Structures are given as C-alpha cells and as structure tokens.
Structure 1
Amino acid sequence: MPRFAQQVTFLYAEDPEASWRFYEEVLELPLAQDQGTCRIYETAEGGRAFLGVCRARAPRSEENPRAEGGVVFTFVTPDVEAWHARLAAKGVALPPAPQWSEAYRVTHFFLRDPAGYLLEVQRFDRPDWPEPG
C-alpha cells in the first residue's frame, strides 16, 4: 500500500488572529499558505508536515485535550532544551524545565497556544524511534 506524501493537522480558534501571531511570531513557523480564514504552517523541514490554524465556527466543546475528540499537537526536535529557553525568553508560560518521562522515554514540556490547545515539544530518547529523513 502506498504511504501518504504529506500530513496536515487543523486546529480551530475563535480568535485566529492571536493564534496566527503566536505561530508566526513566537514559534516562527514558516507560512505555507494563507487561505483567508485559515493559515497553514510548515512544521517540519521538507514540506511533509503542516499545521493549519483556522477560524472556529463554534466554541470549544471540551477542555480536556485527552478526551475523545481532543488533541495534543507535538513538535519533535533533538533540542528540546533550546526550544524551552527560546520560548521562555519570549515570555511563554512554561514549566521550569523540560521533563524526562520514564514511561515513554522522552524528554518534553507542554505549553498552550492562545486558543488553549495543548502543545508539546518532545525528543524521543529511545533507539526504536525512526530518524527523520
């Protein structure tokens, strides 16, 4: 079976302008496409993974991102500590330091975007995770 060539995750915000500023100015993600009510950002080098942030059509129905229908958007990077320092310097509310998870063998931290989505910055510290390529 052929594999998919690209991946896009869409998030919806009642105030998309605040979210767009966050993804463009704080995370500095490259804008791949502005569709007016939705902006799509490149999240990984090579044009294979994207994040779309769109104007919501209704208020959020569930606050727990781990409930069915919820989402946790994870950015994978080899330098979690540098991302933590970079975001802290921009005034983003963060935990004091990245944490190690023995259960998943990852180093990570969580933050929220202006629409309340739970974001994670993570490094897999395990040999069975595939290298990007």
Structure 2
Amino acid sequence: MLPPRPTAVSQQITFLYAEDPAACRDFYGRVLGLPLVQDQGFAAIYATGGQRAFLGVVQARGPRQGREPRAEGGVVLTLVTPEVEAWHGWLTAAGVAVEAPPSANAATGITHFFFRDPAGYLLEIQRFDRPDWPAPG
C-alpha cells in the first residue's frame, strides 16, 4: 500500500541548455518578452505562465546532438496564447525564421506554428480551438 500522496505540484520549470546562453537570454527576454524572474548567474529563469510555469536557460556542457525532437525524441516548448496570428506577425517582423504560417489542425483542435530559438530548440505557439481545454487562471 502506498503512503499518502504528497501535495500537488504547484510550479514547473523547463531548463534548456544552450551553447550560447547570452543569445538565448536575449531571445527569451527581448524578442519573446518573457519576464526574467531570477538570474542565478549560470541560469536565467523566465516566467511563461504567471507564477506557475517557467523556462530556464543554462550553459550547455556540449553541442546539441538532435535537431528534430518530433522524430528523434526530445523537447518541443509550446507557448499557449489566443493570439497565434499576432505572434506569428511579431516574430516574423523581429526576424525570427518560422517554419510555416499558422495552421489549423482539425484532429487536435489547435491552431499553431513552429520556430527555433538561437540554441536550435523547437518552439511552438499554439491556441486551443476546442472548448474542453482548461482556461488559464
């Protein structure tokens, strides 16, 4: 028999390891406008979901091995917003190369597009077009 379950997880941080963390810090802070909540020197932590979800940028110990996480396994960082088309326009104007314009996926009920950060991580901007996705808050 298991002991009582610990309290629920209340926050989440995803750490991305970059060979050039300064470029990534600029990208997440200036280009995406994520608020820096803590600079630990070796790691910069940005808020992505109020005070519940965070993204950390850390110096990598070596070069990234994979380039396509959807095929090889790995991480895709998805940022959820109702303003997918506005983000596409903003990122394009800021010189960020996006893979394709926003598209609707009827099978999953989302509208989304993909792009990469300076370290080569795949990012997605996504909106849930289905009513069963929980509202933020």
Q: Is 1:84 aligned to 2:88, yes or no?
A: yes
Of 52, 73, 85 in structure 2, the residue corresponding to residue 48 of structure 1 is 52
SS at match of 1:121: strand
Structure 2 spans left out of the alignment, 5+ residues:
none
TM-score of the two chains, using structure 1 as the length reference = 0.93
Q: Number of paired residues?
A: 131
Paired position in structure 2 for 1:119: 123
Contact 2:100 2:114 in 1 (8 A): no
TM-score of the superposed pair, with normalisation by structure 2:
0.90
Aligned residue runs from structure 1 range 15-94, under 5 A: 15-45=20-50, 47-66=51-70, 67-68=72-73, 70-94=74-98
1:42 corresponds to which letter in structure 2? A
Which of the residues 92, 97, 108 maps onto 2:112?
108
Question: Could you tell me which residue of structure 1 aligns to residue 102 of structure 2?
Answer: 98
The two structures, once aligned, show a CA RMSD in angstroms of 1.2
Q: Structure 1 vs Structure 2: percent identity of aligned residues?
A: 61
In structure 2, the partner of 1:128 is: 132
Per-residue CA distance 1:32-79 (angstroms, 9 max, x = gap): 11111110000012x1100001000121122221223x1000000011
Deviation above 4 Å: which 4+ runs of structure 1? Answer: none
How far did 1:106 drift? 0.3
* Corresponding position of 1:10: 15
**Consecutive unaligned residues in structure 1, runs of 5 or more:** none
